[in-house]
């Protein structure tokens, strides 16, 4: 893989429980901002992704993917939770809620495996995701969007997810 930009993106590996949790929350906040070009900057120039059945390589492909995603997944709100970490790797579980253009709501559940380079950029992301149709009344993620989840909003475990 190509080297990351010279500017480090803390926290850097090897991760501790605290720094891994910080990295997870930073990723959640970035994705909740729904700015594809800004989110793509968290990845190496040649980052490799598997997202469901889609395989991507590089920042431009990631930004294009996120643009398509957020045009289809409306009012997107995401919560990530640290699952495990070791060295330069972090495992995350997540759920996000969104609706399609017909107004049907979904809660998408998944797991991600992340691998970082020494400068703190994600060089590999492997995501497995499943979608559940939900009535609007069953939504659990309520905060102004786009934007980060408020600090006092419950996380996945607190919500029983």
Residue 47 placed within a domain: yes
Give the pLDDT band of residue 66 (cuts 50, 70, 90): very high
Predicted local confidence at residue 6, as pLDDT = 66
pLDDT, position 4: 42
pTM for the whole structure:
0.94
DSSP assignment string, 96-131 = EEEE-TT--EEEEEEEEEEEE-TTS-EEEEEEEEEE
Mean per-residue pLDDT for 41-55?
96
Residue burial 79-118, b: 16+ Cβ < 10 Å; e: rest = bbbbeebeebbbbbbbbbbbbeeeeebbbbbbebbbbbbe
| Domain CATH number, residue 80 | 3.10.450.50
Percent residues over pLDDT 70 in the chain: 96
Per the structure, the count of domains in the chain is 1
Interatomic CA distance for residues 115 and 105, integer angstroms? 31
Task: Confirm whether 158 is domain-assigned.
Answer: no
Domain carrying residue 27: 17-138
- Would you state the pLDDT for residue 2? 52
Residue 134 belongs to a domain: yes
Q: Is residue 8 part of a domain?
A: no
pLDDT digits (tens, 9 = 90+) for 67-116: 999 999 999 999 999 999 999 999 999 999 999 999 999 999 999 999 99
Is residue 4 in some structural domain? no
Q: Identify which has the larger pLDDT, 34 or 6.
A: 34
Looking at the chain, which runs of residues are DSSP E strands?
43-51, 54-57, 74-86, 89-99, 105-116, 122-134
Cα(88)–Cα(120) distance, integer angstroms = 9
| Residue 131 confidence (pLDDT) | 98
Q: Which of 152, 159, 139, 143 is nearest to 33 (CA)?
A: 143
Let me know if residue 87 belongs to a domain: yes
Task: Determine, yes or no, domain membership for 159.
Answer: no
SS3 content of the chain, % helix, strand, coil (to 5): 25, 40, 35
* Residue 159 pLDDT greater than 60, yes or no: yes
Q: Is residue 161 part of a domain?
A: no
């Amino acid at each position: 893989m190509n080297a990351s930009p010279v500017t480090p993106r803390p926290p850097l590996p090897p991760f501790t429980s605290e720094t891994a949790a910080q990295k997870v929350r930073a990723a959640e906040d970035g994705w909740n901002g729904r700015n594809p070009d800004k989110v793509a900057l968290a990845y190496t120039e040649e980052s490799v992704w598997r997202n469901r059945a889609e395989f991507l390589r590089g920042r431009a492909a990631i930004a294009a993917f996120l643009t398509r995603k957020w045009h289809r997944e409306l009012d997107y709100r995401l919560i990530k939770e640290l699952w495990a970490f070791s060295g330069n790797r972090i495992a995350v579980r997540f759920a996000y809620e969104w609706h399609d253009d017909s107004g049907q709501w979904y809660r998408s559940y998944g797991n991600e495996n992340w691998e970082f380079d020494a400068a703190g950029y994600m060089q590999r992301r492997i995501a497995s995701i499943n979608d559940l149709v939900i009535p609007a009344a069953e939504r659990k993620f309520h905060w102004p969007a786009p934007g980060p989840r408020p600090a006092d909003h419950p996380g996945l475990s607190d919500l029983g997810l």
